[in-house]
Chains A and B, each alone.
Chain A
């Protein structure tokens, strides 16, 4: 009787402490700057083609072809998203460096809310694309806001970040990718 009981105790203990250890690791890295649960399958592949309306020129469709030739940073945001407000100053500072164009991707939002949000916090974007029903976002694999992509001059996705970006992310994660693309500082 004693042996099977000891054995089951050992099994239970191993499973329990293994799980707790793993989850503890998960918590500790959950705010690590370069954390990205899954790399986007798009990285190294051509960015999805799209034709989307512009926030500031309703009725004008903007094609992904027009972005070719220079790299751009695509920043997915919505006025309803608290994380977007957190990263907004970071995005603004980055846009002011003028290293690459920053394109806003206004996702699952309302026109008036989005305009008010930009008025309130400032508009760092070169232009803002609008995807209110979120159909195109599926092509990008967007499942939450904020998310940020770097697309190179040839239209290839080079980098992706899920969740709010901060200065560390930009410097340590995005920086090397921009350097490798030969984007001037």
Chain B
């Protein structure tokens, strides 16, 4: 009974989405406030209905109702309770339901927190989100129904894919989905702005925290996926340029560019059209990612079974949403105001370069991901595009970006003498270079990559600190959450860069034969093999190795790599001993017995591995902290009445803004005051 109710809830949610899209958009076009008012209740009703449907499917899993085909295919009676909750998103249909639920959450959040916008704008934003919801809901209802019955019901279900029975896998998809689908908000805003035919800085300010939060969640989702691949798949790598990884990385890159260009558009009015195009592109890439994973177009993802009817449906949806948005953009964007002019040496220029590099990196990943398909279509043979292509080009595109990062915050808007930030940063550049050179000569191996990693991280880190220092020294000027978020994001970049490059350069791996008492030294580490003992486990017999790890001749940790022979299947499983350290991961795995008491042992040291994920989490934190800045809400709130009464505020005219001008230093002679900015 409950599954049928869930089914009905999905249909009603579709109805709510249709109402949410049709009435407010028509109302905004025909100036009927009553129609526009429908958007909010419709969005909230949609969330309630989706939450009910989701709960119904969860109950089916918990109660093990195998008459629901999806439940029977993805769980069985032995599945532990916690995995019954998470099995809901273990496969295509249920993960789509989670996806739609996340869309519902964003949708309701927008409905609740968009009252500061003029009614016509919030109605259009919600109407566009409603259109997107119609697409996903009908995709689910018509091609991938999670509530389909399986009659007669089997007594026992098939199990959840064992790879997914893992804590890392529990939170990875929800985080990723929140991020992916969150980009619907800047997208809907862009469409609303294009329909309106202008970009008001206040609306732009309203959109910024949404983009930052979505991007932060996407960052966490990607980092969790990378962490999971490292320890579960045990390949020792953390990024493989796999099509599925690329599918999530493309919107991430575009989103990073969008965060920066939105800041410019909000504060200076420049890049207005570009920001809208980027918002459309970011969400389009999210949709493309969903398409690639669910259509079976790229076979790397054959965990979601290929089904051409699904692929065609989602492609038609994709083409309609993106094509419609682009047609609107092409028709309307040329009429958008241009914003204030800026000199070649200014923060605007730096952010323009930032956007160009991030967009180019994104296009590079897109090309590499789709190239095998293109080659197949043009009959050029089967081609594989792998890490050499991605790694090399990505490094080339990101190197200038990393070099320019410290200049950004220290450079003034509109016009700056290039010598000023250069003079401020020169000593720190010297220090970073010095550290790089030291690293070059200290590195036991891979000196070039090590030096590059240390230099880049020190340069970005010190340059960012230089900004913090000058900001704190200038008394009376607030250090806003927005700035703190920027500092955290850039510091995260520094931490990530040094982690990624040092793991690449300094990874040590050896396989050796060891007898009891024997010691093997690798760099600062020494591994003493103390033999193997036989230990019975609950359902296996283990050969447990004793490996004492010493660092700088002091005991660090006693690792117990095991080789387990399971009583049931006779299968042998290797359980590596891993010591996760802030500065290095130590990894010991037991191989084969070699006769006598000797064993083959694999020893591995991965320096700064954890820094990769720590850097990603810092970046995500930066996004969240930025979004928490009161400026995004307070200002909009105080301007509520004039905004409603006089919605025709010209984007060309800088908005009356709170005093917190985002300037490193104040110079009253230069036109930093918004009121004297270049009008017209």
| A interface residue numbers (CB < 8 A to B) | 1-2, 5, 8-9, 12-13, 16, 19-20, 22-31, 35-39, 53-55, 57-60, 78-83, 85, 108-114, 116, 130-133, 135, 138, 143-144, 162-163
What B residues does A138 contact at CB under 8 A?
Answer: 235
Shortest CB-to-CB span from A150 to chain B, Å, is: 17
Please tell me if the beta carbons of B574 and A38 are within 8 angstroms of each other in the complex. Answer: no
Task: Check B306 against A130 for contact (C-beta < 8 Å).
Answer: no
CB pair B305–A82 under 8 Å, yes or no, is yes
Q: Does B671 contact A (CB under 8 A)?
A: no
A38 to B376, CA, bound (A): 10
On whether the beta carbons of A83 and B305 are closer than 8 Å, the reply is yes
Tell me, yes or no, whether B326 is within 8 Å of chain A by CB: yes
* Known A-B contacts A22-B374, A23-B297, A38-B372; A135 and B312 likewise in contact (beta carbons under 8 Å): no
Is A30 a contact partner of B158 (Cβ separation < 8 A)?
A: no
Question: Would you call B573 and A132 a contact (CB within 8 A)?
Answer: yes
Contacts of B76 in A (CB 8 A): 113
B568/A12 in contact, CB under 8 A: no
From B306, B376, B571, residue with most partner A Cβ within 10 Å? B571
Is B322 part of the contact surface with A, judged by Cβ < 8 Å?
A: yes
Q: Once the chains bind, are B159 and A110 in contact (CB under 8 Å)?
A: yes
How far, in angstroms, from A31 to B307 measured CA to CA in the complex?
Answer: 7
Q: Are A58 and B569 in contact (CB under 8 A)?
A: yes
Instruction: For the A-B complex with A27-B311, A78-B162, A80-B162 known, give 9 more contacts whose Cβ atoms are closer than 8 Å.
Output: A16-B323, A23-B297, A27-B295, A27-B296, A30-B306, A38-B372, A38-B382, A108-B162, A144-B303
- B571 pairs with A111, CB closer than 8 A: yes
Instruction: Report how far A57 CA is from B266 CA in the complex, Å.
Output: 69
20 pairs of residues in contact across A and B, judged by CB atoms under 8 Å? A8-B333, A16-B323, A23-B291, A26-B297, A26-B373, A37-B299, A37-B372, A53-B571, A79-B159, A83-B305, A110-B568, A110-B569, A111-B569, A111-B571, A113-B76, A113-B159, A130-B571, A132-B566, A133-B573, A144-B303
A111–B566 touching, CB < 8 Å = yes
B residues lining the A interface (CB < 8 Å): 73, 76, 156, 158-163, 234-235, 288, 291, 295-300, 302-303, 305-308, 311-312, 315, 318-319, 322-323, 326, 329-330, 333-334, 370, 372-374, 376-377, 382-384, 565-566, 568-574
Which of B160, B234, B570 is the one whose CB lies under 8 Å from A59?
A: B570
Q: Considering the chains assembled together, what is the distance between the CA atoms of A57 and B322 in angstroms?
A: 56
Pick the residue among A19, A28, A112 that contacts B568 (CB under 8 A). Answer: A112
Cβ contact within 8 Å between A162 and B299: yes
**CA separation between A19 and B315, bound complex, in Å?**
11
B375 to chain A, nearest CB (A): 11
Question: CB-CB < 8 A to B161: which residues of A?
Answer: 80-81, 108
Q: Please judge, given known A-B contacts A23-B297, A82-B158, whether A132 and B569 are in contact too, CB under 8 Å.
A: yes
Q: Which of B300, B326, B372, B384 contacts A16 (CB 8 A)?
A: B326
A133/B574 in contact, CB under 8 A: yes
Contact of A39 among B295, B306, B382, B568 (CB under 8 A): B382
Contacts of A22 in B (CB 8 A): 370, 373-374, 377
Chain B nearest CB, measured from A45 CB (Å): 15
Could you tell me if B334 and A16 are in contact, using CB atoms closer than 8 angstroms? no
> Once the chains bind, are A36 and B382 in contact (CB under 8 Å)?
yes
Could you tell me the distance between the alpha carbons of A80 and B382 in the complex, rounded to whole angstroms?
30
A-B pairs, top 5 by smallest CB distance, nearest first, are A58-B570, A111-B569, A37-B299, A26-B297, A27-B311
Interfacial chain B residues near A25, Cβ < 8 Å: 373, 377
Determine the distance from Cα of A116 to Cα of B155 in the docked complex, in whole angstroms.
Answer: 13
Contact assessment for A130 and B303 in the assembled complex, using a CB-CB cutoff below 8 Å: no
Query: Would you call A55 and B295 a contact (CB within 8 A)?
Result: no
Cα(A28)–Cα(B377), bound, Å: 11
Across the interface, name the chain B residue whose C-beta is closest to A4: B334
Give A108 to B295 CA distance when docked, in angstroms.
25
Chain A residues contacting B291 (CB-CB under 8 Å) are 23
B372 and A54 contacting across the interface, CB-CB below 8 Å:
no
CB <8 Å contact, B299 and A36: yes
Question: Complex: how many Å from CA A4 to CA B514?
Answer: 70
B299 touches A35 (CB 8 A): yes
Assess the B329–A27 pair: CB atoms within 8 A: no
Please indicate the chain A residues that have their CB under 8 angstroms from the CB of B300 in the complex. 37, 143
Known A30-B296, A163-B306: A130·B159 in contact at CB below 8 Å = no
For B303, what are the chain A residues with a Cβ–Cβ distance below 8 Å? 144
CB closest chain-A residue, reference B310: A27
Complex contact A55–B569 (CB within 8 A): yes
Return chain B residues, CB-CB under 8 Å to A83.
Answer: 302, 305
